[in-house]
Structure 1
Amino acid sequence: MNEVTVGYQDGCLHPLVVSKTGMRLARMMGARAIWAPDHFMGFAPKWLWTPDNVPAARVIHSMDALFDPVPLLTYAAVKHRKMWIGTSVTEPIRRHPMSLAQTFVTLDHISRGRAILGIGNGLRENTEPYGFATDKRVGRLQEALGLIRTLWNSRGRPVDFEGKFWTLKDAVFDLPLFKNKPPRMFVGAHFPRMLRLCGRFADGWLPGEKVAGAEYGARLDVIRASAEQAKRPLDTFVASQTLMCVIGESRDEILEKALGNKYCAYMALGLPPAVWREHSAEHPLSDQEAGFLEIVPSRVTEEHVEKAQAQLSPALLDRLFYMGSTRDIVAEAAPLAEAGCSHFIIANMGAAFTDRGTKNFWDMGRLIRGLGALEAPPL
């Protein structure tokens, strides 16, 4: 059986002391990795992010006050010398593949081999409002993954590349790889085409959607089949899962607060319309605007959130959050480990609506230990 490790999802939010404190406490509590998002815009509209709606707004003045993850991960690499550092996730729309190749080899040198390029196909909120392309995102990612690998393997020889999205002519990448090994690459993937890219190119899988153990295992099978077809061994491959956690005394206590909370109603808009329909509810946004991939928070109105709150149910919230005591959350995550997940990433959502303050951090320590006691079968 494989050891299960636990990582900490930072928010990259101003003020900087929040990230510094979170990283330090996570390390003290046994976390093995620090993950940072790459966002221009946060996961909540500005009108919603007030102390009346969100307790965390007393400290974090705006969900849109986001730091660039690369300098923050550089700080983490120097300050926390035994922890992996990675993006969760960036994309090749705002960042050119050459820039990504260079940046993460640089981070790998600074961290002495602990850098992870976590990459996906991009969220609309970070691209379309800023004038970046939003079409053909999966095809763009596929080309970028191949191009990054080509640059890392080029050993300083000029690279010619003619693709649908990028063209390189006599391009040189001569930054030596740390100990002659490229940084690890994890792909954020949920659906078949993306899962196949993960198996073909990646060293790890970085999903965020909450699924049952059986579905997690089925998706991992797609990755295995793709890796086998590409003749890539999975001996060191890491299957992970991000857990949006809300820790409390009990699940019932959390649900009571969540069902009356506007921020939770807003977060439910991140679920696709198909999930809402499964629970006999109608998504307040159109199919083209709904779900975390497509939603643009700055365009969500109070009316949208009120419609969501009127239909909010425990079943819908269960599709988003891991809720309850630390034992409850470990028990709910255990089937994922049994299916092959060997790295859990804790995204602590409690400060958004439970108002437990620093107690959430100490609860997180128990959760890290509980998840770390699980075991995962070899891939």
Structure 2
Amino acid sequence: MEIGVYGVHFPPFELATGAAAGAEAAGMDFIIYGDQLCFTHPSSLWTPDITDVATLLPTFNAFMDAGPIIAAAAAQTSTIKFHYGVIDAVRRPPSVIAQSLLTLDHATKGRVRLLLANGENKQMKPYGIARKGANEKLSDSLRMVQKFLRTTDPVSDEGIVWKHKDAIVAVHPYGDTPPPVYVAGGGPEVLELIGKYADGWFTYIPGASEDTPERFAEDVATVREHAERAGRDPGSIKISVTMITVLDEDEANLAELREHPFVLWNTMLATPTSATYTRWGLTHPYGENWMFSRDCIPPWISREEALDVCARTPREAIDKVQFVGTSAQVLERLAPYLDLGVIDELSLVNYAELCGVKYMASAGEAIVALLSKVKGIEPATGPGVTTLVTEGLST
């Protein structure tokens, strides 16, 4: 099982690219550089009275383009792999996605993977881009990008939305095989799409699996069944999982973090839809039939609305949506997922680090301790991502 972390997206550029070198030194197998224009949490909550990290970083919405970061980071590293994305299939046509991916394949000397999805409205609606037809565009893009990766000859394909006639992307892959294409998301249509065409499935736990390893196992089985029906080797599809965590080695810190607005907001959003709350017997703050990717535009949400949502978020959901605890406690909760033996790649997001400077050191220790235990190695002594970020922010 490969182990990875999320990279740094904000300036200075040297900090963002240096995160890959730090992750490589810490023994990580891969690093994820996301494709975003704004963060998942409301900008109105990024104030010093809620988190003093805001005094070091004026905005958490300063997402630089992942492509140049990966290209520059590749020149500073030799073994770590790069996850490019999640790239949405709405804002870029398949030919552009394929061209960018193949360019990064050469820049990294074969160390890049694409994460593809139907995208979030927060990257579209404020910028005058319609998300309508996102699922259809994802279906077209996955199939067409795979074609462009496998031939330099003209490609014709009559998709649902994207239509190609003798279209050429003549950049060949760096090595003997093209870079893998994973799909992020869930639901019956997406899982079928992954089984038919994708090289991997990118998902998150515990919220996306409704806090049950059994549901996660069922979804993996569904992907593999669709692959078998399509005449593919079910075992060839990689399962890449991100853990959503609130990790800290200090129990007193954890008690504070459970009531922090950032943790509560994440508790509200990190399920596929609000229907998950209903199945848990809980009431979602935004009611039924609410979906973060479709309905939430964080920069448009006022401070009053955000804090009200946090206040009305059921505390019983905190541990269902994220792994909260010390490295030992989280490892115990993670064990049933690992025991399934189906996870090929494991990464994590730790929201404790956003909640205050006081949490950064112990949260970083918890990350290294947890990933080292999962990987079965002694904690690395090299500069990790957290160390680099903390030093960079202080500078």
Q: Tell me the TM-score normalised to structure 2 length.
A: 0.86
Match of 1:199 among 195, 198, 201: 195
Q: Verify: 1:303 aligned to 2:271, yes or no.
A: no
Q: Deviations over 1:74-110 (max 9, x none)?
A: 1222212201101241112112110111111111112
Distance in 2 separating the partners of 1:22 and 1:171: 37
Distance in 2 separating the partners of 1:16 and 1:289: 36
How many Å apart are 1:287 and its aligned residue?
Answer: 4.9
Give the secondary-structure state (helix, strand or coil) at the position aligned to 2:113: strand
8 Å Cα contact 1:158-1:171 kept in structure 2: yes
Q: Verify: 1:160 aligned to 2:156, yes or no.
A: yes
| Cross-structure match for 2:376 | 373
Q: Verify: 1:257 aligned to 2:253, yes or no.
A: no
Match of 1:349 among 351, 354, 360: 351
How many Å apart are 1:360 and its aligned residue?
Answer: 2.6
Give the secondary-structure state (helix, strand or coil) at the position aligned to 2:64: coil
| Cross-structure match for 1:377 | none
| Cross-structure match for 2:176 | 180
CA RMSD of aligned residues (A): 2.2
How many Å apart are 1:31 and its aligned residue?
Answer: 0.9
Distance in 1 separating the partners of 2:81 and 2:347: 12
Distance in 2 separating the partners of 1:70 and 1:176: 18
Distance 1:356 1:196, change over 3 A: same
Give the letter aligned to residue 90 of structure 2.
I
How many Å apart are 1:239 and its aligned residue?
Answer: 0.8
- 1:1-379 to structure 2, matched below 5 A, reads 4-16=1-13, 18-20=15-17, 22-154=19-151, 156-210=152-206, 211=209, 212-249=212-249, 253-270=252-269, 271=271, 272-278=273-279, 281-285=282-286, 287=288, 290-339=291-340, 340-353=342-355, 355-373=358-376
Distance in 1 separating the partners of 2:259 and 2:81: 37
How many Å apart are 1:198 and its aligned residue?
Answer: 1.1
Q: Which moved more, 1:138-147 or 1:46-55?
A: 46-55
Give the letter aligned to residue 317 of structure 1.
I
Please identify runs of 4+ aligned residues in structure 1 that moved more than 6 A.
none
How many Å apart are 1:217 and its aligned residue?
Answer: 0.6
How many Å apart are 1:279 and its aligned residue?
Answer: 5.3
Distance 1:236 1:59, change over 3 A: farther
- Which one has a larger percent helix, Structure 1 or Structure 2? 2
Distance in 2 separating the partners of 1:60 and 1:202: 37
Question: Identity across aligned pairs (percent)?
Answer: 22
8 Å Cα contact 2:274-2:288 kept in structure 1: yes
8 Å Cα contact 1:283-1:308 kept in structure 2: no
Give the letter aligned to residue 221 of structure 2.
D
How many Å apart are 1:62 and its aligned residue?
Answer: 0.8
How many Å apart are 1:161 and its aligned residue?
Answer: 2.5
Q: Which moved more, 1:66-75 or 1:228-237?
A: 228-237
Q: Deviations over 1:334-356 (max 9, x none)?
A: 22222211211121222122532
How many Å apart are 1:115 and its aligned residue?
Answer: 0.8
Matched length: 369
Distance 1:179 1:15, change over 3 A: closer
8 Å Cα contact 1:12-1:69 kept in structure 2: yes
Q: Deviations over 1:119-155 (max 9, x none)?
A: 111111111221222122222101111111222223x
How many Å apart are 1:303 and its aligned residue?
Answer: 3.0
Distance 1:330 1:56, change over 3 A: same
Give the secondary-structure state (helix, strand or coil) at the position aligned to 1:347: strand
8 Å Cα contact 1:76-1:85 kept in structure 2: no
Distance in 1 separating the partners of 2:314 and 2:13: 35
Give the secondary-structure state (helix, strand or coil) at the position aligned to 2:373: helix
8 Å Cα contact 1:44-1:63 kept in structure 2: no
8 Å Cα contact 2:146-2:181 kept in structure 1: no
